[in-house]
Structure 1
Amino acid sequence: MTRISFLITILALSSFSFAQEKKKWTPPPAIEIAALIGKDNDAAAKKIRNSWGKTGLESGKQRYIEETTLLIAVASDEPVEAIKDNGEKLADLTKLDDEGLYAFAKDIGNIHDFSYELKTSSGKKIGEGAVKIEYYPYPADSFRKDGVPEGKLIPHDWTDSKVFPDTNREFIVYIPSQYDGSKPASLMVFQDGLRHADTKATTGLRAPVVFDNLIASGEMPVTIGIFINPGSFKDQKEGTKPRNRSLEYDSLGDAYVTFLLEEIIPFVVKEHDLNLSDDPSDWAIAGGSSGCACAWTAAWERPDKFGKVLGWVGTFTDIRGANAYPSLIRKTERKPIRAALLGEANDVDNQFGSWPLANKQMEAALTFMDYDYRYWWGEGFHGSRHAAVMLPEMLKWLWSE
């Protein structure tokens, strides 16, 4: 390659890199814009246009949520109002400039799920959108703290399961800095584990960070973590949802806990030369949704191994039989299980059942049989957003014996 060709190549690559960086979208600062509207509309309009541009604003689809502040913006020749799907008026949008930019920005509070249409004063529909707000600030124990040592996170793959043949899965092993093998460590297994082990998640559990902080403060024991995903079939494309998840998580019976006890945990112990406690009160299992039902099933089937359960928005509904648990709990001699559970009032209600009702029935059954448990309740939706910020409190209670 000649010197001139080399320089041309470098310039082309630099131009491409600059173009790519230039295309990076910056969301509008909704909270700041809400404070500007009515006081400095020109400044608010500039910030909105910087994010969405002329074409975007003409589409009628621009909306952004920051914490609990909703921002809607559109270009129009007429006054605009936003109408919710139940017919209720959400707002009259404010005209910000002479170019026809209309916007609404306001803190509308937490826990919302609705769609809306944008209509002009003449009744013409010029846009639409959907709003779902569920916001919780993280507590201090979900952030890195100065002086708190970080545990190691070691990734693994499992491709040769005897219990679930033809599946593969990833999992991460967490080993706290304080572990030296001189004393038996506790164990905690998380279903859907990889996302819960993400220490930089913006709405996730950040479980290793929480573990680091609580172990350092003495509010939970030195604990080995296994963050394991459900099984994918070998013919699945990378990045698709694991097809064996429902079979593994929603089914009753001992298949999944056998998989953990005979395949995953022995491998982890051998691979990392671990000294684990054999006391079931030192073994916990956790998960959300179907992962919560799975965690309960594992402890229910083998309370001699798993004595603690942590779960949220549990799928104790009729997908593969977990709706039977309230009745089974009432009719079966109490098992030595300590459970920290979280339910949400606005959880799913569909053909498989009502998640809020199913969790209320679980709570009533646990109370009836005098189980060692605590149920927290929120107003949120199905998912892990509330659980993410509740994890430190739930772990502190779970390990507080």
Structure 2
Amino acid sequence: MIRILLAAAVLAVASPALADEPRKSGEYAFTPDSLEQPGVQKGQLLGPYEFHSKIIAGTVRRYWVYVPVGYNPKTPPNLLVFQDGQRATNPNGSLRVPAVLDNLIAKGDIAPTLGIFVTPGNLSEHYPDNLGMSNPDHRAEEYDVVDDTYARMLLEELLPEVSRTYTFSDNPRHRMIGGTSSGAIAAFTVAWNRPDSFGNVISLIGSYTSIAYRPAADGQPARFGGDTYPGLIRKSKIRPIRIFIQDGSNDLDNEHGNWFLANQQMVKSIEWANANAEKWNLGPAKYELKYVWGDGGHSDQHGGTLLPDILRWMAPAAKKKLLLEA
């Protein structure tokens, strides 16, 4: 239950010439760990591959596989699964996950990690070539619904497909799942339903709101959304998962909810569950939690700048000092 407040000075500026300029609200600069560095070997980013799901019938999605430098199938690396893979792998985007992995693995800051970056599904025979960074049309139905359908697709279909070619750890403590916005709640839902498979969640500007809510109608029961999680967390057995949460004070406020308030509710519920685990018989596990609040809107930018330190906390190499400290 650790709150992290990072001063602007801690978020290193990419160019020394900008060092004395005041930071504008919502603007956060990359550190060198998120930028390609001279002399650092790059892992292989393979794909995109097209994948048809039977569990989420009628959908097609793309995915990429990041294979770290020095990959050895006899010593399975850690695993990172990231949603909205088209944006997570964008070399000019807000996350730049492959570059972060290259730099941290090269420095020995994190253990070797295999990455799987997957898009949401699209209701079509083939994934549209003209989508670019835009969302496929089945994203909300997969990411915002709080059941185990998406987790089953990953664990019963996509990961076995990748494992035919590459090995990766089966230890949940060495497996991370992350995303931004609806991709963040999707990541949390996978770990919530399957903590035996994923023990670490990266949640950036998470949509813990009512996007998926549908009232009861035509004989069908109501369908609930991510705004139910704070209550579920307070009244459910604690999952043995490590969670990083980030959001900004200027995030969305619309018909689905208030994003910043929703993320604060998630943090408060996790802290309450830990503090009252014995009284309410929620243990024996405890959540491991870190969080950062900024002043950004519904943007990946702040979370992207934090990603190197998030990964250092979640997947440190042996004897390396963590930079996200209590």
- Provide the alpha-carbon RMSD of the alignment: 1.8
The 5 Å alignment of 1:190-229 reads 190-199=82-91, 201=92, 203-229=93-119
Question: What is the CA distance between 1:109 and its match in structure 2?
Answer: 5.4
- Contact in 1 for aligned 2:179/2:187 (Cα 8 Å): yes
Q: Which residue of 1 aligns with 2:184?
A: 292
Between the two structures, name the one with larger relative contact order (CA 8 Å, sep ≥ 6). 2
Offset of 1:160 from its aligned partner?
2.5
Superposition deviation, residue 263 in structure 1 = 1.1
1:326 to 223, 230, 250: 230
The separation in 2 between residues aligned to 1:218 and 1:252, in whole angstroms, is: 36
- Structure 1 pair 246–135 and aligned structure 2 pair: CA distance change class (3 A): same
Match of 1:361 among 265, 280, 297: 265
State how far apart, in whole Å, the 1-side matches of 2:271 and 2:190 are: 20
Q: Which residue among 302, 305, 309 is the counterpart of 1:393?
A: 309
Which among 171, 177, 192 is matched to residue 279 of structure 1? Answer: 171
Percent identity between the aligned chains? 39
- CA distance in structure 2 between the partners assigned to 1:355 and 1:400 by the alignment: 30
C-alpha contact (below 8 Å) 1:251/1:322 kept by paired residues: yes
Secondary structure of residue in 2 paired with 1:232 = coil
3-state SS in 1 of match to 2:102: helix
Letter in 1 for 2:62: E
Alpha-carbon distance between aligned partners in 2 of 1:181 and 1:279, rounded to the nearest angstrom: 15
Within-5 A mapping of 1:14-33: none
Which of 56, 60, 63 is the aligned partner of 1:164?
A: 56
CA contact (8 A) 2:111 2:316 kept: no
Q: How does 1:54-65 map to 2 (within 5 A)?
A: none
Gaps of 5+ in 1: 1-68, 70-106, 112-133
1:305 is the counterpart of 2:197: yes
Cα distance per residue 1:45-81 (max 9 Å; x no partner): xxxxxxxxxxxxxxxxxxxxxxxx9xxxxxxxxxxxx
Return closer, same or farther for 1:109/1:223 CA change in 2, 3 Å cut-off: closer
Q: Which residue of 1 aligns with 2:24?
A: 110
Is the Cα contact below 8 Å between 1:330 and 1:365 reproduced in 2?
yes
Q: Equivalent residue for 1:239?
A: 130
Question: Offset at 1:238?
Answer: 4.1
2:33 equivalent to 1:141: yes
The corresponding residue for 2:206 is 314
When the two structures are superposed, what TM-score results if normalisation uses the length of structure 1? 0.65
**Matched-pair contact (CA < 8 Å) for 1:316–1:358:** yes
Any idea what the Cα deviations from partners look like across 1:257-298, whole Å, max 9, x if unmatched? Answer: 11011111111110x2x2222211011100000000000000
Matched, 1:251 2:145: yes
| SS of the residue 1:334 aligns to | coil
Q: Determine helix, strand or coil for the equivalent of 2:52.
A: coil
Structure 1: which amino acid aligns with 2:154? L
Q: Name stretches of at least 5 consecutive residues in structure 2 with no aligned partner.
A: 1-17, 213-224, 275-286, 318-326
Q: Work out the CA distance in 2 between the residues paired with 1:311 and 1:210.
A: 17
* Shift of residue 108, structure 1, vs aligned partner: 8.3
Q: Which has the larger radius of gyration?
A: 1
